[in-house]
Amino acid sequence: MKLRRILLRLFVLVLWGSGQIHAALLVPTASIWRWRPGTNEASTPVNLWREIGFNDTEFSAGAAPFWDGDIPSSGTQITGSSSLFLRQTFLVPDVTAVGALRLGALADDGFVAWINGTEVKRVNIPGAPGAPLSTATLASIAAEPAVFTTYNLPSPAGYLVSGTNVLAVQVFQAANSKLGFECSLESLSTAPNPPTVLSVQPSPGLITHLTQVTVTFNQPVTGVAAAHLLVNGLGATSVTALDSSTYLFGFVQPPYGNVNIGWSSAHNICDQAEPANRFDATSPGGTWNYTLLDQTVPVVAAISPRPGSLVHSLGSISVLFSEPVVGVDPADLLLNNRPASSLTRVAASQYIFSFPQPATGTVEVAWVTGHGIRDDAAAPNAFAGGAWTYRLHIPVRPRSIWMAGISRTMQPC
């Protein structure tokens, strides 16, 4: 049924909101309210019932949600009335600690809410805030299905007091419609200190791999985007919220050496206070550094001709390393214990060694002991070397062809 679907959505939203540590729940859902049907005005004058000092002993006590039509699993049924008067008291120990109020409501079809007699929200009800209302007022038809919606209320400085306060709500039906209502009220505290970075993983220092960083702020924050985290001045490529204060940033691994982590000056990271405090990226711990060490040893990725193969000539050997290397000399590669006669650098990771043509038979190739080949890292990794062989067979011209050539040259003139 429609109201059951609505209450399920409400339950999910309440669970989601419970993780906000700066929010204090003043009026929870399923609360016990003082209520009466809107068969006639609740007080004379009509606004008196909305005030703190109003005596509501003639109101009944009932649990939310209030409904007429769909039957939920709990709450209070209302019959024979197109409107409903509700009153709920709540306690605010220190009004100066409240930065904002949020009203969550599910209404079928509309409502007007007051706190201590001041109108704070009007939904699906005709007229501007403060416009007169009566039990004959009709709401606009709410969209189906109705959903539990959160509304930011006006600044509470002008109507909230320390101690006991009252939330008054008048609920209205649309013509030929049903009535349903549930709500909650929460306060957002003021917070004098902006959020800071509490911890990061991996910890700053020497590391050998860096494609993600987990940042934990000292309080829940909002507005976090991947591009806000800068890795050597470049924005991260992804971000995942692990919870409201912990975020996992992903990025392409930067070059080896010093890696600086900072924040974009245009970030929108703020806490959940009212008014919100912007994350101070310059605070201690807000930026940090890694030294990214390359511990990958260069190896041979490909050799041409292929080691162990049968070749018919061997004037050069092409070597492709797994990464760019430096310190490569002709004397580093031996063919039958003789160094290469020349070296051609094709790319930072590819070199061609040239040799005089060796004799037919098994050809041994090896890297010289003590070569200086290494990668170009802050902490260089030396190439290990190695050896391999070829089977060299140089074709000989057939004897019949050779003799035919001689006979042609010896014919008489």
Type of residue numbered 301: A
For domain 197-292, which architecture applies? Sandwich (2.60)
Q: What is the mean pLDDT of residues 232-252?
A: 97
- Average pLDDT over all residues of the chain: 89
Q: What pLDDT does 43 receive?
A: 96
Q: How confident is the model at residue 86 (pLDDT cuts 50, 70, 90)?
A: very high
pLDDT at 36 over 90: yes
Whether the Cβ atoms of residue 387 and residue 366 lie closer than 8 Å to each other: yes
The pTM for the full model equals: 0.50
Q: What pLDDT does 21 receive?
A: 39
Q: What is the mean pLDDT of residues 47-53?
A: 96
Sign of the dihedral defined by the CA atoms of residues 285, 287, 291, 292, in that order: positive
Q: Select from 166, 156, 190, 160 the least CA-distant residue to 50.
A: 166
Q: How confident is the model at residue 405 (pLDDT cuts 50, 70, 90)?
A: low
Q: Please tell me if the domain spanning 197-292 has the same topology as the one spanning 300-392.
A: yes
Q: What pLDDT does 13 receive?
A: 36
How far does the chain reach from its first CA to its final CA, in angstroms? 118
285: left (phi over 0), alpha (psi -120 to 50) or beta: left
Q: Select from 261, 284, 267, 275 the least CA-distant residue to 196.
A: 284
Q: What pLDDT does 376 receive?
A: 79
H helix intervals, 2-97: 2-17
Q: How confident is the model at residue 380 (pLDDT cuts 50, 70, 90)?
A: confident
- Which pair of structure tokens corresponds to residue 4? 């059951």
- Convert 75-106 to b/e letters by CB count within 10 Å (16 or more is b): bbebeebbbbbbbbebebeeeeebbbbbbbbb
Q: Domain-by-domain residue ranges, the chain?
A: 2-189, 197-292, 300-392
CA-CA distances (angstroms) from residue 133 to 41, 112, 113, 171, 189?
10, 9, 12, 11, 33
Q: What is the mean pLDDT of residues 265-273?
A: 91
3-state SS, 117-169, equals CEEEEEECCCCCCCCCCCCCCCCCCCCCCCCCEEEECCCHHHCCCCEEEEEEE
Q: What pLDDT does 411 receive?
A: 53
Q: What pLDDT does 68 receive?
A: 86
Q: How confident is the model at residue 7 (pLDDT cuts 50, 70, 90)?
A: very low
Q: Which residues pair with 292 in a beta bridge?
A: 207, 257
pLDDT at 133 over 70: yes
Residue scoring higher pLDDT (224 or 178): 224
Q: What is the mean pLDDT of residues 209-215?
A: 97
CATH superfamily of 2-189: Galactose-binding domain-like (2.60.120.260)
Instruction: Report d(CA 195, CA 286) in Å as an integer.
Output: 10
Q: What pLDDT does 316 receive?
A: 97
Q: Select from 18, 3, 38, 34 the least CA-distant residue to 272.
A: 18
| CATH number for the domain formed by residue range(s) 300-392 | 2.60.40.1220
- Convert 140-149 to b/e letters by CB count within 10 Å (16 or more is b): eebeeebebe
Instruction: Report d(CA 55, CA 43) in Å as an integer.
Output: 10
